[in-house]
Structure 1
């Protein structure tokens, strides 16, 4: 199903082509209103009850779980992808001589912690190079062997949108006795994903990109086999008696159920959580499947027009539908991002790719403005 343009839900001027959701997704009017409402509650704290610290967050967990095929019990609230990845790094055992697989030019938050973990345990981070045919999946599958402890990956590469077949990768990792850790900040909400088919050990997504939510809010999925794991902080809110404010002086060793032990401190976040909820409710109304189909049509059109200017991109079907990385036949023009921004066209550059990442607020005029600007630059 193709979703009609939803620009009216956002504060985007008609003369501005914002094609940069992979950098930061703009907030819908309803999300801004929800955040304002949430912040206003702090002005009257006597209206907040102990129950309010947990009920709204449970709603958010349930919504995120619906986006990834999980249950609310599997979901923890985190402030950033790096926090969720740190939970995985705390709990997945990595021994001497084992290997951690990452990809070349992978997002740094999904690299630094693995380097530190490997160094502390005599393990090795293996950075895979993209294959000549651009097929990341084949390269990853070829690298998995009995030495592999885990692979830390994404659904699509953050520089150009190249897809990874996570179902095949996850199956081969399980056969090798290895774990799968995913950062889906650059895909969840914009394309389908199901933990029941991919079966990651941990999966994290920050809200501020394709989930169209506030900054400093994200969610972590933990497979039930890790629900007895070790949290990275000892907040009172993750303890089994947290709802009993009067009894908090009765210290307990037990944790709240499921993945909730991995929650960040102050996870209630009365100001931002309502915005995350409003955004996820809208995504579920649209559905990731329909969003992916709609954005796939948009990026396919842009790729075809860009090819006529001599720009290359991963072929349709080999890249995520919402994500287009364009490479130049010669060196990339200097200050490309700034030059296009001066023409009210907003994209980003990561690695050797110019990222064009639209959402449902973009229209044909935005694409025409992009092409005119690129034509002038080239």
Structure 2
């Protein structure tokens, strides 16, 4: 066995108990100081029955649900079956609390800065349709971005907006190269906090500060970072952030969050109109309604109530563990995998080696071998991973030393590491 070093009542009326954190709205941080390492280990072992089934290292695609999320979904379904919408007021109360919980997680000022969306793509689309574009404007981005953070911007060529892409892996200072592309006609810089293939992590604070000085808006696709590593939208001068819930946030598909900084809530056009974008959407007898003045103006239609309850449950788990503990666990897994993979002669690690560039994703290849075939063979050995220009491993905070040792053993078997 390969040795590894460096390890050490949502208020909705649904009868699903878990550790509830206080709702003081400030930065993403540990919310329950009583949880020590042993208590967290016990909590996570109970929350993830998948630990006993296989080595699931594919959270950069879709995460297994924690037990509390599955319980909420199950209870919501049976409640709807038996009672219909009788508990809708309670569900709305939980949805309002979810905004505050999400705001705490990302360092936003209040839940009013958070809109609930279906996915990251919807957040991108809100900005792409809502900014007042002019012929000759440009957008600065990263070469090789996931299609979500590329296609909407490319289509703005129809109104005269150009896209400037930077190869961040071809330079020793990717932030400087990105900021060097910003000029007086740059309306927006858009980046993924963590790149979806090799886990390359950007310095968001440096980029946000540079954009603020240049007068360009800053958009972050946070789906490969939020839930694994902290993000503070205030400290990083982020104007817009979008994140689907089904990866590192460990929630179902079809629910996510969109952050919009307060100054932009008055400037960004809500391109889609619907009954819920007003201040009092459930006051249906009122003929005179004004649009909501906060992020709710970007929620035009009927909400994904079940998804909101499930996301609130998953965020409650991350919040109970705390940002620094989550970060420590995720990066310990990354370090263990990189160290073990680099010791295998037949394996080449493709993820960045600098500690400040690391995330929860580790990408490797076996030269001369197909990534698709390697992932298939690893799957037959119980390791669930993904081919993304190599073999992509993405373990999460509830896994640790024992699971990383097992993953490395199976990679060594499949890759022929000796």
Structure 1 and Structure 2 fold alike (TM over 0.5):
yes
> Partner residue of 1:139?
177
Q: Is the Cα contact below 8 Å between 1:68 and 1:194 reproduced in 2?
A: yes
Is 1:354–2:391 an aligned residue pair? yes
Contact 2:45 2:51 in 1 (8 A): no
| Match status 1:152 vs 2:152 | no
Which of 308, 318, 328 is the matching residue for 1:293? Answer: 328
Indicate how the Cα distance of structure 1 residues 331 and 98 shifts in structure 2: closer, same or farther if over 3 A, else same.
farther
Deviation at 1:135, TM superposition (A): 4.4
Counterpart in the other structure of 1:209: 247
Q: Secondary structure at the match of 2:355?
A: coil
Distance 2:358 2:296 in 1: 31
- Structure 1 pair 68–215 and aligned structure 2 pair: CA distance change class (3 A): same
Q: Structure 1 residue aligned with 2:206, among 168, 189, 193?
A: 168
Aligned pairs for 1:109-128 within 5 A = 109-117=148-156, 119-128=157-166
| RMSD after superposition | 2.1
2:23 corresponds to: none
The CA deviation at 1:303 is 0.2
Cα distance in structure 1, aligned partners of 2:142 and 2:403? 32
Of stretches 365-374 and 21-30 in structure 1, the one that deviates more from structure 2 is 365-374
Partner of 2:348: 311
Of 279, 282, 286, 2:314 maps to 279
1:82 corresponds to 2:137 = no
Q: Deviations over 1:320-345 (max 9, x none)?
A: 34222224445544522211111110
Question: Structure 1 stretches of 5 or more lacking a match?
Answer: none
Secondary structure of the structure 2 residue equivalent to 1:360: coil
Q: Post-superposition shift, 1:54?
A: 3.1
Q: Which residue of 1 aligns with 2:270?
A: 231
Instruction: Could you tell me which runs of 5 or more consecutive residues in structure 2 were left unpaired when the two chains were aligned.
Output: 1-6, 9-36
Using the TM superposition, give the Cα deviation of residue 295 of structure 1 relative to its aligned residue in structure 2, in angstroms: 1.4
Question: Cα–Cα, structure 1 residues 35 and 89, in superposed 2: closer, same or farther, change >3 Å?
Answer: same
- 2:280 paired residue number: 241
Secondary structure of the residue aligned to 1:196 is: coil
Give yes or no for contact 1:9–1:29 (8 Å, CA) kept in 2.
yes
Matching residue of 2:63? 25
Distance apart, 1:30 and its partner CA: 1.0
Paired residues of 2:117 and 2:258 also in contact (CA < 8 A): yes
Higher relative contact order (CA 8 A, sep 6+): 1
Give the Cα–Cα distance (whole angstroms) in 1 for the partners of residues 371 and 78 of structure 2. Answer: 46
> 8 Å contact 2:91–2:309 — kept in the other structure?
no
Greater Cα offset, 3-12 or 149-158: 3-12
Q: In 2, Cα distance between the equivalents of 1:354 and 1:140?
A: 28
Aligned-residue offset at 1:348: 1.3
> Residue 141 of structure 2 contacts residue 164 of structure 2 at CA under 8 Å; is this kept in 1?
yes
Contact 2:225 2:359 in 1 (8 A): no
DSSP-derived class of the 1:318 partner: helix
The residue aligned with 1:262 is 298
Change (3 A) 1:307 1:134: farther
1:335 is paired with a residue whose SS is helix
Is 1:94 the equivalent of 2:133?
yes
> In structure 2, how many angstroms separate the alpha carbons of the residues matched to 1:334 and 1:22?
16
Q: Contact (CA 8 Å) 1:134, 1:314: kept in 2 or not?
A: no
Aligned counterparts of 2:302 and 2:159: Cα–Cα separation in 1:
32
